[in-house]
A and B are shown apart, each in its own frame.
Chain A
Amino acid sequence: MLRWIRQQLGVDPPHQSDTRTVYVANRFPQNGHYIPQRFADNRIISSKYTVWNFVPKNLFEQFRRIANFYFLIIFLVQLMIDTPTSPITSGLPLFFVITVTAIKQGYEDWLRHKADNEVNGAPVFVVRSGSLVQTKSKNIRVGDIVRVAKDETFPVDLVLLSSDRADGTCHITTASLDGETNLKTHFSVPETSVCQSVSQLEALQAVVECQQPDADLYRFVGRITVIQHGEEIVRPLGPENLLLRGARLKNTKEIFGVAVYTGMESKMALNYKCKSQKRSAVEKSMNTFLIIYLVILLFEAILSTILKYAWQAEEKWNEPFYNQKTEQERNSSPILKFISDFLAFLVLYNFIIPISLYVTVEMQKFLGSFFIGWDLDLYHEESDQKAQVNTSDLNEELGQVEYVFTDKTGTLTENEMHFRECSIKGTKYREVNGKLLPEGMTDDSPDGSVAHLIGDEVLFLKAVSLCHTVQISYDQPDLPLGASDPFSHVNGFSSNHMEYYASSPDEKALVEATKRIGVAFTGSSGDTMEIKTFGKFEKYKLLHLLEFDANRRRMSVILQTPSGGTVLFTKGAESAILPFATSGEIEKTRLHVDEFALKGLRTLVVACRHFSPEEYMDVDKRLTAARTALQQREEKLQEAFDFIERDLQLLGATAVEDKLQDKVQETIEALRLAGIKVWVLTGDKHETAVSVSLSCGHFHRTMNILELLQQRSDNECAEQLRRLARRIKEDHVIQHGLVVDGASLSLALREHEKLFMEVCKNCSAVLCCRMAPLQKAKVVRLLKTSPEKPITLAIGDGANDVSMIQEAHVGIGIMGKEGRQAVRNSDYAIARFKFLAKLLLVHGHFYYIRIATLVQYFFYKNVCFITPQFLYQFFCLFSQQTLYDSVYLTLYNICFTSLPILVYSLFEQLVHPHALQSKPCLYRDISKNSLLSFRTFLYWTVLGFCHAFIFFFGSYILMGEDTTLMGNGQMFGNWTFGTLVFTVMVITVTLKLALETHFWTWMNHFVTWGSIAFYFIFSLFYGGIIWPFLHTQDMYFVFVQLLSSGSAWFAIIIIVITCLSPDVFKKVLYRHLQPTSTQNSQQSLSAPPAQALSCMESLCCYQQGQSGCSRLASLLDQMTGHCKAGASNCHASSRCNRSWSDTETFYSNDRSILTLSPIEGTRC
């Protein structure tokens, strides 16, 4: 009873078994004790909040941030004790920050709600009580039979029951799930595939048993029990029977399926995982600085408190006759007084912690990241893909990368395969004009080659054309246009409107090649595969398909030949097949494979095995048993596969060329010049990898190549490592390259990590071949956790790169042919490897400079802000008198100084982007987080203190002489003093940023001068009115009185100049004495007159001869940022000029052989 209640309340999870039982159409058995399982409904909830819990939940989330929590505490302290400032002064900024963040998060959540509602409310057809009923998607329950029509997406995870085809198959694409655009065939079990109408389905009695929901898209284990004529028929169910939510039905009119996983339990929903939060180095230093400032704050508060009591020890200062204490004050306990004084000082100085820092950083990152997606240079026209930002938290990390780990296939190469050569029975062949020519023969017999093909060759070609999972699509219009190889039309492969679709580009290339040569795969229907061998059709029955997996590194098919025999064709990596081959030209083939690999070709080895009927019976039994197993199916399958794929007869090897991507060499060279070490991690063979490495410039011919290969034992490995370390020291070669293979690497990592790291660090290029996906991640982690803690970047395109992408500080996905897995798990995604150069060298550089200055400046301006307040305590008996009015205290960070830095941090360009891209060495200037180093931090902080001293003591000496500053002899009071300091401060702090700004767009002008103007206008307004709701009218006309004094104006000017001139002086000296390369390139940029856009031009870029009216129009154009024709000619032309002069300047004095062409100036 108790248990039942608890179950109902959801305290106890209801009966968790390993499997779930789904009764098709929810026809539960009438007899027997049956416990209904409870399943989630089909509602997708991606939103975080509801209307009701938004406020508390969001507040809770926000106050978990230390900075927000700190300000909350300050606010509460202000509410509780008598403090110098009203709670509003810290409450309002906090409220502002919280509100801005809440609005942003609320908006995002609202979008999610909208998307959810759309999905949940989509109409679907469900078979209920004998008829087809339209309902909303969210109403689908587990067990419902759902009908899905052509080109619709599946609303739930379905087990396919039947389709309009007789064989019960259907085609789907899973592009939205994993990005694989090829068609996949899914099957239904024969017993249900006959139920093609509603009435037949009504009569169907079946039970599906399957595993509990699981996030793995490619794993599904279950079985279906169909009751036919009182007889139970059990059939295994696998991933090929499951239609995933989110996938789309293709080439099939309609299907029926039974819902097994609904709503949040569907595989798609389970894959909505929160990515682990990566934090950038900048954020870490920011937190360190915050702690330092917290220490300064505490120090100042404690010092003030102690000094206060030291001062008050003397009776005359404790209670002068004019400022008597109340009874209550006299009687309260000294300890309490001490604590409350301390808290009051804490409140007084709390603004030293910049409250708006986080919100500004967040806005900067959010808004700034748009520029990556907008960049035309990162846009790939052929595939219509632009760069994609998945997280904006890491923008600045792009400027800090020290190690790049790159995948080879699909990242450095196009992943676009072309069959080149093959080796059959120990003879090498080349493909020339659709004909296979043995080595040494020339193509002199244009028509004869076909006849020359002998048995072995044909068998080899047949094996290649049959052993694959390629699909054929005939009806063009239904396919997602250009989803697959866009060049296939051009190359003329698709005669008869027939096109191959394959998940592996190698397979596609091979099948296409055999078709050209004469053995064409013409299609498969059901379990029959048909090939056309030199005009003759042959039908093979597909008995079993032994799928490819990364561990086995091979795949096989078992076929029944037209003559009735049973044969297994297998193809895979040479290391996965040669050891199991027992006959054929093993040694010669191995030699050929190595030769192919040396040319940088991708090799596959093909083998076959003939089964006798008895053998096949055994094989069939094992496979079926393994496939229907509910427990440990994978292990059992592995065992079965290993049993089957042996005693192979080697047929030959294929060599497929994977073209290098455009400008890979230049990009790698640029990265190297930028001080970034590039490691290539690949699953390919050692020889292939080395040759690709050489051809893409990763390895140079001049490089001393060290090898750590095929190490079998620990000792050997250590010995080899020591040898290598010695060689690095002894060989007088500038650059070393290291080649490691997976097996040796795992040995080296296990025991000799330090030694290995030592060797690696001295190598300018490292190539790891034969790497398993997890090993890739391991290498990244090893580097990441090494003592220097370098910033790592991983770039890859396939699912096998995901672990490495997630492990590295910055993960970059290439939007390639191998699906979207990498893109979805990456932080940034780009279409081509060559874009990496711009992403790092330009965007990374900019973002880093922007955010680093932003952070430093924030601390600086708050030191400037609070230190005078601290100094003033010495002149008011440590009574916590504020120097500035509360409104100024509140608005300083929110209004007066917030916008210039935000605009700066969005638009600053220290150097022209072309310079950054063509001079990669500039990247070194910002490496190792140099702008946030402790030295720079100290510079800014000390500068802040100095400026604060100058503001304060400048004003102090001016006022301290006791003389009037006004022409009418009247005197100023304390608020005028504070306002003078504040005015000087706002101007200085704004101008300091102006000094840092190198790129003045109209927006910079607007916010910089606008901020100062706003301060003046606001102060005039604020001081010009008696505010009825304010407690005191301290500031009434104070500002006007201040400005009416000539001396005050002179003082403001002199103090501002005093603060800034040493800074300018320092900058000039450093520029000339120790110029950084960045500064050099700034200088050389300014040389050509074409670029010298004057200040006026930047405010209003117009052509000569334009009338005032069109000037206005062009100004408006710029405001909207549009580069329309006509008015913006000047942009284009000046752009053009610039890029050309850039080239001249840079190529002449840069040692690099870069040909990174400047961006076309004519685009506009």
Chain B
Amino acid sequence: MKEEGNLENRPSNTAFTQQRLPAWQPMLSAGVVIPGFLVIGLAFIGIGVGLLITSRSIQVLELDYTGTETNSPCNKCTTLPIQNNCVCKLNFTIDTLFKGPVFFYYSLTNYFQSQRKYGASLDYNQLSGDLTYFKSPASDCDPYRYANGKPIVPCGSLANSMFNDTFKLYQIVNGKENLVPFDGKGIAWWTDYNIKYRNPDYSPLENAFNDTEKPVFWSKPAYKLDTSDSSNNGFVNQDFLVWMRRAALPNFRKLYRRITEGDYKDGLPVGNYSLEISYNYPVKSFDGTKKATFSNVSWMGGQNEFLGIAYLAIGSMCVVMSVVMLIVYAKFRFPEDD
């Protein structure tokens, strides 16, 4: 017989080696789950109601200005070949105060910004202001890499296809058009504007673009996007930034302006309005539509019934499930009791 101390091979007696670490052993039994589901269900129903109310309180006004219908004011712009300075006016009435701040969006449908080649067709180095890439843009930019033998800046399909309709909103007061002031700041992500995109460190900015070509679809070069405000010009032009943030889905909305100033900072008062559109962007070729949208936002963003409905639905589902479980529980009890 061996001595106790001689047992060299004896495994060590620890909780770990003996597989008995202290452990919590939860069990999904009816007793735990039914109250849980009930609580979750009720909570969700409550949240759902709250979300739905919040969402319902948001006002949205959507105006289609594609001009496919013949009676549409913008119809003339579609029938003519693409031309500059086709302007059409859309009149509309606001019945109740449209609470501010009001956000003005443009929407496109059937437009696939999510295509891979399209999305990759840009040169990030250019857009962060690296001048060497002004001379030789990345090959991703093809077929918008060179034009007339000169490099395109900003190159690529994405930049090239930038949305170029412009809008002006007038309130018609006593037959007179009062321009509603648009705020073009704060429509792009703060980080895009301040960090991700950079103009070349050049003054005047124009000189950095020497020996380069503007994107072929553009009417003016990048350094002239907003000549009135140098901090909104070139690559940090907020309209440009908004466009460059690709939409995930083929029907999308992009923020165009905010109405935060002057008489309209509390919202659009009751009255007649006229939206003047300079119609440049062609959508007919792909059966797209263009819309202008006014909306105000809550803490949860724009009007979005989905979340509220989803919470209500899942909440009631949880309650129903807990009732079913309760019935089963009452009928069958613990199976090992019998």
Are these two chains actual partners, yes or no? yes
The answer to whether the Cβ of A1057 comes within 8 Å of any Cβ in the partner chain is yes
User: Given A1065-B325, A1068-B33, A1072-B335, A963 and B124 touching (CB < 8 A)?
Assistant: no
A964-B103, A1047-B304, A1050-B300 known; A1061-B321 Cβ under 8 A: yes
Known A-B contacts A974-B248, A1037-B189, A1084-B336; A963 and B303 likewise in contact (beta carbons under 8 Å): yes
Whole-angstrom distance between the Cβ of B318 and the nearest chain A Cβ: 6
Would B143 and A324 count as touching, CB distance under 8 A?
A: yes
Task: Output the least CB separation between A487 and chain B (Å).
Answer: 8
Indicate whether A1128 reaches chain B with its CB closer than 8 angstroms.
Answer: yes
Q: A963 contacts which of B10, B44, B253, B328 (Cβ < 8 Å)?
A: B253
Is there contact, CB below 8 Å, between A1093 and B20? no
Residues of B within 8 A of A970 (CB): 186-189, 255
Chain A residues near B44 (CB-CB < 8 A): 1054, 1057
Residues on A lying within 8 angstroms of B by beta carbon are 84, 316-317, 320-328, 370-371, 373-376, 379, 381-382, 384-386, 482, 486, 490, 846, 872, 875-877, 879-882, 907, 909, 913, 954, 956-978, 995, 998-1004, 1026, 1031-1033, 1036-1037, 1041, 1045-1047, 1050-1051, 1054, 1057-1058, 1061-1062, 1064-1065, 1067-1069, 1071-1073, 1075, 1080, 1082-1086, 1091, 1093-1095, 1097-1099, 1101, 1118, 1120-1123, 1128, 1130-1131, 1134-1135, 1149, 1163-1164
Taking A323-B112, A1118-B22 as given, write out 15 further A-B residue pairs in contact, using a Cβ cutoff of 8 Å, ordered by the A residue number: A316-B287, A376-B13, A379-B9, A386-B10, A872-B114, A954-B310, A958-B304, A969-B295, A973-B245, A977-B248, A1036-B191, A1061-B314, A1072-B29, A1093-B24, A1135-B20
Cross-chain contact B252 with A962 (CB below 8 angstroms): yes
Least CB separation from A1040: chain B residue: B191
Contacting residues, chain A, for B332 (C-beta < 8 A): 1072-1073
Shortest Cβ gap from A959 to chain B (Å): 6
Q: Considering residues A1064, A1091, A1094, which has the most beta carbons from chain B within 10 angstroms of its beta carbon? A: A1064
- Given the complex of chains A and B, what is the CA–CA distance between A1093 and B21 in angstroms? 11
For this complex, 8 residue pairs linking A to B, each with C-beta atoms less than 8 Å apart, are A323-B121, A323-B161, A907-B19, A963-B301, A972-B248, A1050-B311, A1062-B321, A1068-B328
Contact of B255 (CB < 8 Å), options: A969, A1083, A1149 = A969
Complex CA distance for A490 and B1, rounded to whole angstroms: 9
User: In angstroms, how far is the closest chain B Cβ from the Cβ of A151?
Assistant: 19
Q: Which residues of A contact B228 (CB under 8 A)?
A: none
**Bound Cα distance A846, B19 (Å):** 11
Q: How far is the CB of A1060 from chain B (nearest CB, A)?
A: 11
Write the residues of chain B forming the contact surface with A, with a CB cutoff of 8 angstroms. Answer: 1-2, 6-30, 33, 37, 40, 44, 47, 51, 60, 101, 103, 105, 107, 111-121, 124, 142-144, 157, 160-161, 186-189, 191, 195-196, 242, 245-255, 258, 282, 285-287, 295, 297-307, 310-311, 314, 317-318, 321, 324-325, 328-329, 332, 334-336
Q: What separation, in Å, do the CA atoms of A328 and B143 have in the docked complex?
A: 10
Is the beta-carbon distance between B248 and A959 smaller than 8 angstroms? yes
Residue of A with least CB distance to B196: A1036
Bound complex: CA A381 to CA B11 (Å): 10
Residue contact A1000 to B249, C-beta cutoff 8 Å:
no
Q: List residues of chain B with CB within 8 A of the CB of A1065.
A: 33, 37, 321, 324-325
Q: Is the CB of B29 within 8 A of A1068?
A: yes
B123 CB to nearest A CB, Å: 10
Q: A371-B17, A958-B304, A974-B113 are in contact. Are A1000 and B26 (CB under 8 A)?
A: yes
Q: Is the CB of A1054 within 8 A of B116?
A: no
| A1000 CB contacts on chain B under 8 angstroms | 23-26
| Pairwise interchain contact B23-A1001, C-beta atoms closer than 8 A | yes
**Chain A residues, CB < 8 A from B196:** 1026, 1033, 1036-1037
* CB nearest neighbor in B for A1024: B191
Which of A316, A882, A961, A1149 counts the most chain B CB atoms within 10 A?
Answer: A961
When distances are taken between beta carbons in the complex, the residues of chain B under 8 Å from A1135 are 20
Return A1005 CB to nearest CB of chain B, in Å: 8
A650 CB, nearest partner CB in chain B, Å: 41
Q: Which residues of B contact A386 (CB under 8 A)?
A: 9-11
Given the complex, which residues of A lie within 8 Å of B242, measured CB to CB?
Answer: 971
Query: How many A-B contacts at CB < 8 Å in the complex?
Result: 339
Contacts of A375 in B (CB 8 A): 11, 17-19
The residue among A317, A879, A1054, A1093 with the most chain B CB atoms within 10 A of its own CB is A1054
A961 to B20, CA, bound (A): 52
Residue of B nearest to A371 (CB): B19
Partner of B25, one of A370, A879, A999, A1131: A999
How many Å from the CB of A174 to the closest CB on chain B? 21
Q: How far is it, in angstroms, between the C-alpha of A1035 and the C-alpha of B236 when the chains are bound?
A: 18
Instruction: Point out the residues of chain A lying under 8 angstroms from B324, CB to CB.
Output: 1065, 1069
> Using Cβ atoms and an 8 Å threshold, which residues of chain B touch A959?
248-249
A1063 (CB) vs chain B CBs: closest residue: B28
Taking CB atoms, residues of chain A closer than 8 Å to B113 are 974
Query: How many Å lie between the Cα of A1097 and that of B329 in the bound state?
Result: 29
Q: How far is B27's CA from A1095's CA once the two chains are assembled, in angstroms?
A: 12
In chain A, what residue has the closest Cβ to B188?
A970
Shortest Cβ distance from A1097 into B: residue? B22
Rounded to whole Å, the gap between the CB of B234 and the closest CB of chain A is 18
Contacts A973-B246, A1047-B304 given; indicate if A373 touches B114 (C-beta within 8 A). no
For residue B282, which residues in chain A have a CB less than 8 angstroms away from its CB? Answer: 321
A963 CA to B294 CA, complexed, in Å:
11
Asked if residues A1123 and B27 are in contact (CB atoms below 8 Å), the reply is no
A954 to B245, CA, bound (A): 22
A322 x B157 contact (CB < 8 A): yes
Given A875-B250, A969-B255, verify A1071-B29 contact (CB < 8 Å).
Answer: yes
B118 CB to closest chain A CB, in angstroms? 4
Minimum distance in angstroms from A1099 CB to a CB of chain B = 8
Residues on B with C-beta less than 8 A from A1149 are 336
For the complex formed, measure the closest distance between the CB of B13 and the CB atoms of chain A, giving whole angstroms. Answer: 6
A620 CA to B273 CA in the complex, in Å? Answer: 130
A1068 touches B302 (CB 8 A): no
Task: Chain B residues near A978: list those with CB within 8 A.
Answer: 248
B residues less than 8 Å from A1033 (CB atoms): 124, 196
A326 & B143 in contact (Cβ 8 Å cutoff): yes
Nearest residue in A to B318 (C-beta to C-beta)?
Answer: A1061
A1093/B22 in contact, CB under 8 A: yes
Partner of A1054, one of B27, B28, B307: B307
Cα–Cα, bound, A1047→B299 (Å): 8
User: What is the CB-to-nearest-CB distance from A1083 to chain B, in angstroms, rounded to a whole number?
Assistant: 6
| Pair A1047/B189 contact, Cβ less than 8 Å | no
Query: Are B329 and A998 touching (Cβ within 8 A)?
Result: no
Minimal beta-carbon separation of A1094 from chain B (angstroms): 7
Question: Would A880 and B285 be within 8 Å (CB), given that A1065-B321, A1097-B24 are in contact?
Answer: no
**In the assembly, what is the distance between CA of A317 and CA of B247, in Å?**
17
- In angstroms, Cα B21 to Cα A1130, docked, is 12
Give the CA-CA distance A876 to B28 in the complex, in Å.
41
Inter-chain contact A1121/B16, CB cutoff 8 Å:
yes
The smallest beta-carbon distance between B312 and chain A, in angstroms, is 10
Is the CB–CB distance between B27 and A1082 below 8 Å? Answer: yes
Residues of B within 8 Å of A880, CB to CB, are 116
Provide the bound-state CA to CA distance between A1058 and B40, in Å.
Answer: 11
Which residue of chain A lies nearest to B36 when distances are taken between CB atoms in the complex?
A: A1064
A965 close to B24 (CB less than 8 A):
no
Interchain CB contact under 8 A, A322 and B118? yes
Q: What is the CA–CA distance of A876 and B120 in the complex, to the nearest angstrom?
A: 13
B7 x A384 contact (CB < 8 A): yes
A964: chain B residues within 8 A (beta carbon): 103, 253, 255, 295, 297, 301-302
Residues in A whose Cβ lies below 8 Å from that of B120: 1032
The answer to whether B27 touches A1083, judged by C-beta atoms less than 8 angstroms apart, is yes
Instruction: Evaluate contact between A1086 and B25: CB separation under 8 angstroms.
Output: yes
Residues of chain A lying within 8 A (CB to CB) of residue B142: 326, 328
Residues of chain A within 8 A of B321, CB atoms compared: 1061-1062, 1065
Residue pair B143, A325 in contact (C-beta under 8 Å): yes
> Out of A882, A967, A1069, which one reaches B298, CB within 8 Å?
A967
B195: contacting residue among A954, A1026, A1058, A1131, CB under 8 A? A1026
B contact residues around A969 at 8 Å (CB): 101, 103, 187, 255, 258, 295, 297, 301-302
